[in-house]
Amino acid sequence: MARMTAARAAVEVLKAEGVSTAFGVPGAAINPFYAALRESGEIDHVLARHVEGASHMAEGYTRTHAGNIGVCIGTSGPAGTDMITGLYSAAADSIPILCITGQAPRSRLHKEDFQAVDISSIAKPLAKLAVTVLEPAQVPWVFQRAFHEMRSGRPGPVLVDLPLDVQLTEIDFDPDTYQPLEVHKPAASRAQAEKVLDMLAAAERPLIVAGGGIINADAASELVELAELLNVPVIPTLMGWGTIPDDHPLMAGMAGLQTSHRYGNATLLASDFVLGIGNRWANRHTGGLDTYTQGRTFVHIDIEPTQIGRVFAPDYGITSDAGAALRMLLDVARQRGAPADRSAWVADCQQRKATLHRKTHFEQTPIKPQRVYEEMNRAFGPDVRYVSTIGLSQIAGAQFLHVYRPRHWINCGQAGPLGWTAPAALGVCKADPDALVVALSGDYDFQFMIEELAVGAQFNLPYLHVVVNNSYLGLIRQAQRQFDMDYAVQLSFDNLNAPELNSYGVDHVKVAEGLGCKAIRVTDPDEIQPAFDKARSLMAEYRVPVVVEVILERVTNIAMGTEIDNVNEFEELATSAEHAPTAIATMGS
CA 221 to chain CA centroid, nearest Å: 20
3-state SS of 192-204? HHHHHHHHHHCCC
Per the annotation, the verdict on 418 as an active-site residue is: yes
How far apart, in whole angstroms, are the C-alpha atoms of residue 195 and residue 83?
A: 44
Identify any residues that bridge with 163 across adjacent strands, giving them in sequence order: 103
Supply the DSSP string of 339-387, one letter for each residue. Answer: ----HHHHHHHHHHHHH-EE------SSBPHHHHHHHHHHHS-TT-EEE
Identify any residues that bridge with 277 across adjacent strands, giving them in sequence order: 210, 301
The answer to whether residues 432 and 458 touch, using CB atoms and an 8 Å cutoff, is no
Q: How far is CA 265 from CA 257, 258, 261, 375, 474, in A?
A: 9, 11, 6, 25, 24
Burial annotation 102-138 (CB, 10 A radius, 16+ → b, else e): bbbbbeebeeebebbbebbebbeebbbbbbbbeebee
The answer to whether residues 42 and 15 touch, using CB atoms and an 8 Å cutoff, is yes
Nearest by Cα to 284 from 407, 399, 408: 399
Per the annotation, the verdict on 51 as an active-site residue is: yes
Identify any residues that bridge with 162 across adjacent strands, giving them in sequence order: 102
Per the annotation, the verdict on 226 as an active-site residue is: no
Q: How far is CA 364 from CA 7, 216, 399, 523, 573, in A?
A: 60, 42, 21, 10, 17
- Cβ within 8 Å of residue 337, ≥6 positions away: none
Q: Out of 51, 142, 387, 548, which one is annotated catalytic?
A: 51
H/E stretch holding 484 reads none
Q: Out of 25, 226, 274, 311, which one is annotated catalytic?
A: 25
Per the annotation, the verdict on 573 as an active-site residue is: no
DSSP designation for 500: G
The answer to whether residues 466 and 546 touch, using CB atoms and an 8 Å cutoff, is no
* Torsional class of 488: left (φ above 0), alpha (ψ -120 to 50), beta (otherwise): left
H/E stretch holding 46 reads strand 44-47
CA 566 to chain CA centroid, nearest Å: 27
H/E stretch holding 122 reads helix 119-123
Nearest by Cα to 232 from 190, 193, 200: 200
- Cβ within 8 Å of residue 288, ≥6 positions away: 562, 563
Q: Out of 209, 418, 467, 528, which one is annotated catalytic?
A: 418
Backbone angles phi, psi at 457, to 5 degrees: -70, -45
Q: Out of 476, 489, 511, 573, which one is annotated catalytic?
A: 476
H/E stretch holding 87 reads helix 78-92
Q: Out of 473, 501, 544, 552, which one is annotated catalytic?
A: 473
Supply the DSSP string of 124-169, one letter for each residue. Answer: GGG-SEEEE--SGGGHHHHHHHHHHHHHSSS---EEEEEEHHHHHS
Q: Catalytic site residues?
A: 25, 51, 418, 473, 476
